[in-house]
A and B are shown apart, each in its own frame.
Chain A
Amino acid sequence: MDAAAITRALTRMAHEIDERNPDDAGIAFIGIRTHGVPLAQRLASILKHNFPTGELDITMHRDDIALRGAPVVGPSHVPFDVTGKTIVLVDDVLFTGRSIRAALDEITDFGRPKQIQLAVLIDRGHRELPIRPDYVGKNVPTALAERVTVRLTEVDGKDEVMIER
């Protein structure tokens, strides 16, 4: 995917979010760090309603801390009350679903949202948990051994999605 394709996908997703949630007042975006954060900001800015956006660092909620070295952990920043809101959770790639599971746990630690919807730029399959996205930029069937790398201007200096073997 190149920059234009990413923008087209995000624009379509933003409109789907708008259509699914006619009651605009209660929407808020939360991006999963690192790449979910700029994606959440882009979705919010396409909709032009000044929806609040937050960022989530799920390191403390992961289930594989014992399997890895001591991880780098950063602060989450959710500058609004999530209680009663429709939260659109945003990530770059949906894979096993374990990151989303951790993010759902963390969001409910901030309060009790009315509902949580999931938006991902890429769905690459291979779910290990019963989690499905509400909005998908592109479905990309992959082999387990492949890597899907999303690069975004805000983080990496350019927009692109690559599948690497």
Chain B
Amino acid sequence: MKPTWQHKHLLGIQELSADEIVFLLDAAKAFKEVGERSVKKVPSLRGKTIINLFIEPSTRTRTSFELAAKRLSADVINITATSSSLVKGETLKDTALNLQALNADMIVIRHSAAGAPHFLAKFLKASVINAGDGAHEHPTQALLDAFTIREKRGRIQGLNVTILGDILYSRVARSNIWLLTKLGAHVTLAGPSTLVPRVFEEFGCRVTHDIEEAIRDADVINLLRIQHERQRKTMFPSIGEYTAMYGLNKDRFTRTKPDVLIMHPGPINRGVEIDSDIADSVRSVILEQVTNGLAVRMAVLFLCAGGKHED
């Protein structure tokens, strides 16, 4: 049977099959081409209303979703935590029901609590798209990372992908681990033992605290930012020590594969997890990830809005 897309919501990568992921990534190629036209807009979602409900701060993901919605001709409204009635004590459920009462067709939600999008999906008629829930999932980031790897390498199967940095608090890491292992990559997690506990081996990846070993055979190195805002206690002595032990500096960079792809979900902290020159080098695809993120989010909105669903 030909693979198709049956989902009304995109809540996480965990719920998707490998075929569905590939279907979505193939569709995203078509949307990338739209961005290269003189009129960068298609009428697919004309008349649909999309609400960006961002209860946690975000610039890049929110802008990307907003532009994706606009390029599909949808009407889009942004709601941030400080500008919403949540500060007046309204619950998330009531906020969401009010938005639905305005006949919103899709709600893109970012929330600091894991599972918030799944909670909304249970009672909303509108489609729910997860734009990051706590330290749980950030599915569109994993999809755009995979899109970028496929575009550069033509495949994901069999590649060595190292995710380096704050794994414990990272939703990007979790979504990436699920996606990459489903598509047959060998995933290595690396960083200080406080941020990369052994328990992650249960996800089907390798865990190491030796950065040299982690980067040596990597085809892709995905660097993650230290998430100060999520850490409840100090997980390592100092930023300087983290940089010395686990930062990707020029010296370590010479011991990576000559064609390694350097990725980062942003925002980057130059001189902390990544050396400034490496971030700007030809091996870095950090800005292409941003371009691809738009195409992937257009594909997500288009497919989840399209037609009949099993619900």
Contacts and interface: CB of A to CB of B under 8 A. Distances in A.
B154 interface: no
Nearest to A74: B30
Contacts of B41: 109
A5 interface: no
A71 B39 CA distance: 22
A106 B305 CA distance: 20
Contacts of A108: 39
Interface string A92-114: 00000000000001101111000
B39 A70 contact: no
B242 interface: no
B206 interface: no
Contact of B37 (A65, A71, A72, A110): A110
Nearest to B3: A72
B15 interface: no
Given A60-B44, A65-B306, A73-B302, A110 B39 contact: yes
B30 A59 contact: yes
A69 B34 contact: no
A90 B2 CA distance: 27
B290 to A, nearest CB: 19
B105 to A, nearest CB: 10
A105 B42 CA distance: 9
B303 interface: yes
A61 B30 CA distance: 12
B9 to A, nearest CB: 13
A62 B23 CA distance: 19
A67 B304 CA distance: 14
A65 B307 contact: yes
Interface residues of B, number: 29
B306 A69 contact: yes
Contacts of A66: 306-307
A75 B6 contact: no
Nearest to A77: B33
B42 A109 contact: yes
B227 interface: no
B30 A70 contact: no
B29 interface: yes
Interface in B39-68: 39, 41-44
Interface residues on A, range: 20 to 34
B110 to A, nearest CB: 24
B10 to A, nearest CB: 12
A77 B37 CA distance: 10
A71 B44 CA distance: 11
Interface in A22-76: 57, 59-62, 65-76
B91 interface: no
Nearest to B44: A60
A48 to B, nearest CB: 29
A70 B6 CA distance: 7
B27 interface: yes
A105 B33 contact: no
A60 B302 contact: yes
B33 A76 contact: yes
B26 to A, nearest CB: 8
A72 B26 CA distance: 9
B308 A61 contact: no
A165 to B, nearest CB: 25
Contacts of B281: none
Given A60-B30, A74-B29, A105-B43, A68 B308 contact: yes
B4 interface: yes
B33 A70 contact: no
B32 interface: yes
Contacts of A61: 42-44
Contacts of B2: 72
The 7 closest A-B pairs by CB, nearest first: A109-B39, A70-B306, A60-B42, A75-B33, A70-B5, A75-B30, A70-B303
Interface of A: 57, 59-62, 65-77, 105-106, 108-111
12 contacts: A60-B31, A69-B4, A69-B307, A70-B6, A73-B299, A74-B30, A106-B42, A109-B39, A109-B42, A110-B37, A110-B38, A110-B39
Given A61-B42, A68-B306, A70-B306, 10 more contacts: A60-B44, A69-B306, A70-B302, A72-B27, A74-B26, A75-B29, A75-B32, A109-B39, A109-B42, A110-B39
